[in-house]
Structure 1
């Protein structure tokens, strides 16, 4: 690990244990190594294990809030009329990462479907996704990230992200881009 990825937490910070998914508080003064800066969040390792720290707590790491998180916060303006663009929803989903794998959930082949539905001039997005392993405790955190990113897309009124297990995920579902990122091709 390079020295520029080593940090000392400047304050207590809520973190999610990887892969269990439990919430814990990492105390101020903890030494951590940042392993990933993806999707606006941080994956860190320390003497206590591996954790995900949300981008909203970047200051505790001595980092700026990631640009993608700033852009998403600004994108949800109320002046949008009409349905959200499918491309914008897919792009939002591509900004979500499994904290253990440096490839977005779309290119990992985890997103099985995305549907925009209109009801009374409001647009609801339904997403079905899976995980690389049924026992992954990070599933709810990843699904919540996806829900929040989709709801930040102009025109989206609400979103629901469901984790499904059929069909079971396999590495064959990874896109060519994802396989290149992982060094599989």
Structure 2
């Protein structure tokens, strides 16, 4: 049974990404360089990156989740992502926040990740 979630009617649970920003594709590639140590797939294709928000001043704000609240690298992964993005040309600053809403599920993985892990 689905639990009701508290959010504005019609508002997306996941904030949209700045897909039209010139740095967006490079930030995605930087995220793809970070791997969950327990799963041989990068965090972007695992569906752990919920939002990549880039301001006009090139400040990058990442909203991500983890596969489980007890993830052994929960405290380290945001730093790994920031370290992957900060050196990029044009990036002013990076912040990474963890969100548990919506909870991560296997349906958030890309087809490539599912194939890699033998789910397809």
TM category, shorter:
0.7 to 0.9
Aligned length: 100
Question: Deviations for 1:53-79, whole angstroms, at most 9, x for unmatched residues?
Answer: xxxxxxxxxxxxxxxxxxxxxxxxxxx
- Please give the per-residue CA displacement for 1:125-148, whole angstroms capped at 9, x wherever unaligned: 000000000111301211110011
Which of 80, 90, 97 lines up with 2:35 in the alignment?
A: 97
8 Å contact 1:110–1:131 — kept in the other structure? yes
Conserved? CA contact 1:84–1:156, under 8 Å: no
Aligned to 1:159: 94
| Larger proportion of strand | 1
Q: TM (normalized to structure 1)?
A: 0.52
CA apart distance, 1:161? 0.6
Task: Check 1:159–1:84 CA distance in 2 against 1; reply closer, same or farther (3 A cut).
Answer: farther
Runs of at least 4 residues off by over 4 Å = none
| Partner of residue 50, structure 2 | 112
Q: Matched residues in 2 for 1:167 and 1:113: separation?
A: 12
The answer for unaligned runs of 5 or more in structure 1 is: 1-82
Q: Which has the higher contact order (CA 8 A, sep 6+)?
A: 2
- Give, in whole Å, the separation in 2 of the partners of 1:125 and 1:110: 16
- Aligned-residue Cα RMSD (Å) equals 1.3
